[in-house]
């Protein structure tokens, strides 16, 4: 099983969260792949630029060397995102566009999304794990 890390998980890695870092180590030891979405890259990068946080930016840049960043270069991801958005809107359960794009990326690429965002439980077809609350 390979994984896509949501923005909140990447942020915890940058903050050196022991529980998350141990889980990442276990996953890598088992030869599973870990990816980051370009949306997560954008969200983290804009935050550190706005805060003028050079140390965190450096940690993030180092992290990006370890994990492949998945780009939105696949029309199937955008199609899936549109479907998710429409489904959630029709059900009266909208979530942020960034979360929809990250979820669509995980679904299309066959990855398990790792997130601490409960809103993502609303997305059908999404394989989701929460390394913050899971033992």
Mean pLDDT, the chain, rounded, equals 95
Tokens 């998350």 label which residue? 20
Residue 109 belongs to some domain of the structure: yes
Of 112, 109, 85, residue with least CA distance to 99? 85
pLDDT band at 49 (very low <50, low <70, confident <90, very high): confident
What's the domain range around 111? 3-126
Structure tokens at 132: 């913050």
Tell whether 122 is covered by a domain: yes
Counted domains in the chain: 1
CA 57 to chain centre: 18
State pTM to two decimals.
Answer: 0.94
The answer as to whether 131 is a domain residue is no
Question: Residue 60's pLDDT band (boundaries 50, 70, 90)?
Answer: very high
Q: What percent of the chain has pLDDT over 70?
A: 99
Residue 132 lies in a domain: no
Query: For residue 62, is pLDDT > 90?
Result: yes
What CATH code is carried by the domain that includes residue 108?
3.40.50.1010
Residue with more model confidence, 102 or 135: 102
Q: Which of 34, 44, 61, 58 is nearest to 8 (CA)?
A: 44
Note the pLDDT tens digit of each residue in 25-43: 999 999 999 999 999 999 9
- Do the domain assignments include residue 89? yes
Confidence band for 135, pLDDT divided at 50, 70 and 90: low
Rounded to whole angstroms, how far apart are CA atoms 58 and 60?
Answer: 5
Residue 50: how many other CB atoms lie within 10 Å? 8
The residue-averaged pLDDT of 17-21 equals: 96
In a domain, 9, yes or no: yes
């Amino acid at each position: 099983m390979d994984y896509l890390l949501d923005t909140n998980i990447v942020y915890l890695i940058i903050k050196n969260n022991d529980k998350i870092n141990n889980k990442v180590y276990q996953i890598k030891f088992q030869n599973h792949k870990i990816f980051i979405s370009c949306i997560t890259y954008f969200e983290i990068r804009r935050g550190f630029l706005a805060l003028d946080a050079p140390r965190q930016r450096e940690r993030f840049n180092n992290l990006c060397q370890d994990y492949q960043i998945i780009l939105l270069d696949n029309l199937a991801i955008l199609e899936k995102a549109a479907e998710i958005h429409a489904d959630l809107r029709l059900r009266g359960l909208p979530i942020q566009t960034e979360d929809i794009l990250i979820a669509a990326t995980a679904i299309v690429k066959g990855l398990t999304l790792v997130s601490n965002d409960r809103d993502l439980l609303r997305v059908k077809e999404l394989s989701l794990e929460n390394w913050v609350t899971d033992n």
